[in-house]
Amino acid sequence: MTTSLGFLIAARRCEIDELDQLARTSELVGTLGRLVHALQRERGITNVFLGSGGQRFAAERAAQVADCLAREQQVRVALDPLVDDPRRLAGGARLFPRVAYVLQGLDALPALRARIEALSIGPDVSTAAFVKLIAGLLAVVFEAADGATDPDISRWLVAMFNFMQGKEFAGQERAFGAAAFLRGGNDDAQRQQWLHLIESQERCFGLFCEFSDETLRTQWQASQAPAQLAELERLRRIGCTSPAGTVLDANLSPLWFEGCTRRIDAMQAIEDGLARELRALCGRKIEQARAELQRYEALQAEAVKPGDFFADAASETAEAPAAGYGRNLERSVLQMVQEQSRRLQAMNDELQTVRASLNERKVVERAKGLLMAHRKLSEEEAHKMLRQTAMNQNRRLVDVAESVLAMADFLPLGASAPR
């Protein structure tokens, strides 16, 4: 016979199942993060290798490719069980198409590496290919964060996604700067792209600080050694602000690469800390939910039949009957129902707050896509236009993006906003 307590127990079991799914998703995110880090390093090394005509970093590149293959295998092992049991992860309908896209990219990597080995492509083409693959991996992390149903876990996933995204922009800057020093200079468009990468990092790390805790924020600040940052800024000024026609010193390329690598490796330590805390948080949540489930099951074992839900308040002091829930047990069940309702409402409110940053990112990305299609702009140019408009009008970036999307129906056919 179904009872209110029985449904509370069912609710807890559902919650435990969802938490188990989130725990597995969080584990996958950590595995993907390690592959992303390895691919970022391969991209940077490859740029130096190609920019020097194969004279530099040949051995380092071979070693890094081997590391990437090992990390890739770990990802594939983590993904294999999902084909036969897709319910192991939450939000599979949205998550798995992203995974399929990533696997296509990984399958195409050997051919790309062969072209690099043969020096048949330049640094720009190589960088674009790695950026595309890494963007696909980060999209899986984004979907994981967007699909999380527990606000605390969602908050950590949002912090982790933004940190990984910021680290990716740092990795792109490492590769971009290495190529710039090797080729001996930048034109105006290239300098603007470099500045865009710097600004994008700052935006992502700001969101990471907003959603992480004080311990990780302190660790993040401590990891940014002043001497290393000063050297990084010195080289940035040389690369970004030198007048047009200035010839950059190719010997600065290894110095730039090594400085950026130290910074990015320090970021990886923060990312590993995020992954560890995320796994620990999932474990604590599951343990707490299971303890609650045991408490509910213990009450169910004691109960024979329900008490009077509509009992008069004056009668609540009467002695409980020998059979049935009894007045104290009845109140316990009602309190648990009310507590569960309040807890779920609080979780929903917090979840909406956490997801706001993800929703803003979706709006901005759609607006950029619309501008790119309608105005024939690059991604950097579209973002710069939105940002400049927001500054000129003293408005938030997301508000400007929403205004752009609101005009989608007035644009010529073929220039509709991406969905």
Return the HEC string of 35-77.
Answer: HHHHHHHHHHHHHHHHHCCCCCCHHHHHHHHHHHHHHHHHHHH
Residue 31 in tokens: 């595995």
| Residues whose CB is less than 8 angstroms from the CB of residue 350 and which lie 6 or more positions away in sequence, other chains included | 151, 152, 155
Topology (CATH) of 337-419: Arc Repressor Mutant, subunit A (1.10.10)
The pLDDT score that the predictor gives to residue 93 is 82
The pLDDT score that the predictor gives to residue 358 is 74
The pLDDT score that the predictor gives to residue 310 is 55
Q: Where in the chain are the domains?
A: 4-286, 337-419
Question: pTM value?
Answer: 0.76
The pLDDT score that the predictor gives to residue 5 is 76
Cα separation of 141 and 312, whole Å? 53
The pLDDT score that the predictor gives to residue 107 is 96
Residue 167, Cβ density class (10 Å: 0-12 exposed, 13-18 middle, ≥19 buried) = buried
**87 and 80 in contact (C-beta within 8 Å)?**
no
The pLDDT score that the predictor gives to residue 319 is 45
pLDDT in tens, 298-345: 877 775 444 455 555 444 444 444 444 444 444 555 565 566 566 656
All residue ranges of the chain with pLDDT < 70 are 1-2, 244, 303-351, 353-355, 409-419
Report the Cα 322 to chain-centroid distance in Å: 56
Residue ranges of alpha helices (H) inside 212-326 are: 214-223, 226-241, 252-302
The pLDDT score that the predictor gives to residue 357 is 72
The pLDDT score that the predictor gives to residue 215 is 86
**275 and 160 in contact (C-beta within 8 Å)?**
yes
